[in-house]
Amino acid sequence: MAVGCIYGLVALGFVLIYKATELVNFAQGDLLTLGAFVCYMAVVWWGLDYWVGFVIAVVVIGAFGALLDRVVLRQVIGQPQFAVVMLTIGLGAMFRTFASVTWGSEIYTLPTPFGGVWTIGGVTLSHQYLSIIAGTLVLCGVLYAFFNHTRLGVAMQATSQNQLAAYYMGIPVKLIFSLIWAISAGVAAAAGILLAPVTLIDTNMGLAVALKAFAAAVLGGFGSIPGALFGGIIIGLIELYAGATLPEGFKDTAPYIVLLLMLIVRPQGLFGTLTRKKV
Amino acid sequence: MRFPFKTSYNQDIRLFRDRVDVFWYGLLAVAVLVLPLLMDEYYVGESTWVFIYGICGVSLMVLVGYTGLVSLGHAAFLGIGAYAHAFFIMHGAPWVVAVGLAVAITTACGLIVGLPALRMTGIYLAIATLAFSVIIQEVFSRWESVTHGFAGMKVDRPVIFGVAFADDRSFYYLCLFFLVIVLWLTRNLLRAPTGRAWIAIRDSEIAAQSMGVNLAIYKSMAFAYSAGVMGLAGALFAHKIAFLAPDIFNILLSIQFLLLVIVGGLGSLHGALFGAVFVALLPPLIAILRDSIPDSMAEFAAATGITPVASVGAAVGAFLAKPGVEAGIFGLILVLVILLEPLGMYGRWLKIKLFFSTFPMYKASTFKRQKSYMRSERLR
């Protein structure tokens, strides 16, 4: 469940960017890794408070996301989608190398204030997992409020529905793109920090999560925000039950088998819509 | 500049444009045949990789560059070919039969993957093939009676009709032979109605369909052909790498193949070969640089008396020696190519050629892309 929430959060990042700019960001998982590392640096090396580290990491990675959009991804708008996918894959590889050169290939543990456990009716709930679920809920609530109740959020929705119309209405589309990248990268960083106590921090933590999150995004229908979260939780649960009940080896593949079946039966995903181009 | 004057349709579709082309390709053939006799055995082995990657590149070029279907899971087909080939060889099948069966099996797998792919486009297809390759990789590690799992599988050099291809030189010629066959076959397919249908599908599915191209048949044909060629490459790959383990055929290898076709230049067989040269020779080049830069910098520093140069050289060497740097360099090159030269190495080659053939009159704007707006791919 908790891991499913992480998948959901990363999938949310994919979907935000896809909805607004129609780019698919394969480097999302590596942004997650970078976020976790920045938080680790802030907390352990500089001795800051966990929450301060959290905010620093989210802001730094968010700013980095906006910069990425401004400098690199702005150039390729209008090129085939495939070229952009490859571009983000290349960026992801660069980030991974950067992380392994800067922080080495050791595995780090991020100290958190969530050490204890609660026992409710014989069920033990560790604070770590609860923190992930709570963090996801809070983030989603904030994003929901932002998108529906602020001027900027509504402008972002308008941009993702129809760029040209939004532009004519006086919305600064380019700025909105950068902001969406910033939000999406920030969400990835937050997911990385929440995930850090569970999987520990190393340079490849993002890749595995991103692949599963991808499955989650597709399962929920690329382009649907509740779908992404829902898909993430489903993927997390499938993984859990497959690991518990099916023979060894199915834990890692079950999400993909479900994904393939899903794509065959209903390619637009659970919540997605697919319209045919009119000629 | 030469202006070929075409008077018949056959002239338009023939293999070589004119005699000059025939001369240059002939020269290239002679060079490729003679070089291994002059080169060191180590370099012969490295150039064999160029041919194997070349076959992989042609396979992916047909799918991505000509039909416009993106596959993030081609390493799985390579793996299926390699394992099938190794399995049949181990059970005593003659080499030719084993290769034939390996190609047949991968072609069938390609068809099976291609069928659901008919309903998907763009990013969905990429994700579906990615999921397929993850599943196949798990199958490789679990189906131990066939693949031996993580214990691995040893593959000897091929023996064909009693002739052993044991040393690197003879294996070089074997790979070259298959590359030429594949190139010839693909070139012929591409100038036939099949290839034109593929290109039509790439440029606009709706237009192709309106012109009477059966999308289902041609898309699955592209998938099957591409997978079959990949299976052949897999068989050679198995011999070259000599030891099969499931984690070779991971997503990073698939990405490397995509990198190959993009860096080479999408939509041309030349591009597949340029890309193969690049992907096969970059790792050894990095290794050479890693070893030689610190030494040469130190020598330079000693000769000129500028000592900081030596420490810069040492730092560069240490940086290149770190694990994972190679992937980052590949990533950087991919980013630069997509940003600066979307046509790839072959596009750059065309530009250079045009520059010299039109010498004083060359205009950079000939290749300038039109101002492009975002086109929605959500509507299909």
A96, A101, A275: residue with CB nearest B379: A275
Identify the DSSP state of B164.
E
- Distance to chain B for A103, nearest Cα, Å: 12
B123 touches chain A (CB under 8 A): yes
CA separation for the pair B354, B300 (Å, rounded): 39
- Distance to chain A for B62, nearest Cα, Å: 15
Residues 6+ apart with CB under 8 A from B49: B240, B280, B281
| Interior/surface letters B265-291, b for 16+ CB within 10 angstroms, e for the rest | bbbbbbbbbbbbbbbbbbeeebeeebe
Q: Mark yes or no for CB contact B127/A218 under 8 Å.
A: yes
> B318 contacts in A (CB within 8 Å)?
none
Instruction: Give me the pLDDT at residue A115, please.
Output: 61
Nearest to A210 by CA among A2, A1, A7, A5: A7
Question: How many separate domains does chain A show?
Answer: 1
Question: CB–CB of B61/B261 below 8 Å?
Answer: yes
DSSP annotation string for chain A: -HHHHHHHHHHHHHHHHHHHH----TTHHHHHHHHHHHHHIIIIIS---HHHHHHHHHHHHHHHHHHHHHHTGGGGTTS-HHHHHHHHHHHHHHHHHHHHHHH-S--B----S---EEEETTEEEEHHHHHHHHHHHHHHHHHHHHHHHSHHHHHHHHHHH-HHHHHHTT--HHHHHHHHHHHHHHHHHHHHHHHHHHH-B-TTHHHHHHHHHHHHHHHT-TT-HHHHHHHHHHHHHHHHHHHHHSPTTHHHHHHHHHHHHHHHH-TT-SS---BPPP-
The token pair that represents A236 in the structure block: 């997390």
CA separation for the pair B364, B158 (Å, rounded): 50
Residue A222 lies in a domain: no
Interface probe for B, chosen from A256, A262, A264 (most Cβ of B below 10 Å), is A256
> A256 contacts in B (CB within 8 Å)?
131-132, 134-135
> A89 contacts in B (CB within 8 Å)?
255, 258, 331, 334
In terms of average pLDDT, the best of A192-196, A233-237, B175-179, B356-360 is B175-179
Q: Could you read off the pLDDT tens digit of each residue along chain B, which spans 380 residues?
A: 566 677 888 777 777 777 888 888 889 889 888 888 888 888 888 888 999 999 999 999 999 889 888 888 899 999 999 999 999 988 888 888 999 999 999 999 999 888 877 777 677 788 888 888 888 888 888 887 777 877 778 787 877 787 777 788 888 889 999 999 999 999 999 988 999 999 998 888 888 889 888 888 899 899 999 999 999 999 999 988 888 888 888 888 888 898 899 888 888 888 899 999 988 888 888 888 877 777 777 777 777 777 777 777 777 777 777 767 778 888 888 888 888 887 888 888 888 888 888 878 777 777 766 555 555 555 44
> A257 contacts in B (CB within 8 Å)?
131, 135
Question: CB–CB of A207/A247 below 8 Å?
Answer: no
Residue A269 lies in a domain: no
CA atoms within a 13 Å half-sphere pointing along the CA-CB vector of A227:
20
Q: Mark yes or no for CB contact B258/A86 under 8 Å.
A: yes
Scan residues 48-107 of A and list those with Cβ closer than 8 Å to B: 72, 75-79, 81-83, 85-87, 89-94, 96-98, 100-101, 105
Q: Rg of chain B over CA atoms, in angstroms?
A: 23
Distances (CA, A) of A265 to A16, A194, A219, A224: 25, 34, 11, 18
B181 touches chain A (CB under 8 A): no
Total number of residues shown for chain A? 279
Instruction: Find the residue in B nearest to A95 (Cα).
Output: B328
| Domain ranges, residue A105 | 2-206
* Tens-place pLDDT, residues A55-95: 888 888 889 988 888 888 877 776 777 778 888 888 888 88
CA separation for the pair A60, B299 (Å, rounded): 42
Interface probe for B, chosen from A21, A23, A82, A270 (most Cβ of B below 10 Å), is A82
In terms of average pLDDT, the best of A127-136, A171-180, A220-229 is A171-180
For helices B215-241 and B168-191, what crossing angle results, to 10°?
170
Q: Mark yes or no for CB contact B119/A264 under 8 Å.
A: yes
Residue A169 lies in a domain: yes
The token pair that represents B154 in the structure block: 């040893």
> A260 contacts in B (CB within 8 Å)?
116, 128, 131-132, 135
CA separation for the pair A222, A270 (Å, rounded): 9
Interface probe for A, chosen from B130, B202, B338, B341 (most Cβ of A below 10 Å), is B338
Instruction: Find the residue in A nearest to B266 (Cα).
Output: A83
Give residue limits of the domains in chain B: 16-249
A6 touches chain B (CB under 8 A): no
SS3 (DSSP) at B12: helix
B215 touches chain A (CB under 8 A): no
Instruction: Give me the pLDDT at residue B198, please.
Output: 92
Nearest to A55 by CA among A38, A69, A70: A38
Instruction: Give me the pLDDT at residue B141, please.
Output: 84
Q: How many contacts (CB atoms, under 8 Å) link A and B?
A: 149
Q: Mark yes or no for CB contact B126/A82 under 8 Å.
A: yes
- Distance to chain B for A117, nearest Cα, Å: 35
Scan residues 43-82 of B and list those with Cβ closer than 8 Å to A: 64, 70
Q: Mark yes or no for CB contact B127/A263 under 8 Å.
A: yes
Instruction: Give me the pLDDT at residue B380, please.
Output: 42
Q: Is A46 exposed, middle or buried, given 0-12, 13-18 or 19+ CB atoms closer than 10 A?
A: exposed
Distances (CA, A) of B274 to A48, B43, B277: 51, 18, 5
Question: CB–CB of B275/B344 below 8 Å?
Answer: yes
Identify the DSSP state of B367.
G
Nearest 5°: phi and psi at B17? -70, -45
For helices B74-90 and B215-241, what crossing angle results, to 10°?
60
- Distance to chain A for B256, nearest Cα, Å: 10
Q: Mark yes or no for CB contact A85/B70 under 8 Å.
A: yes
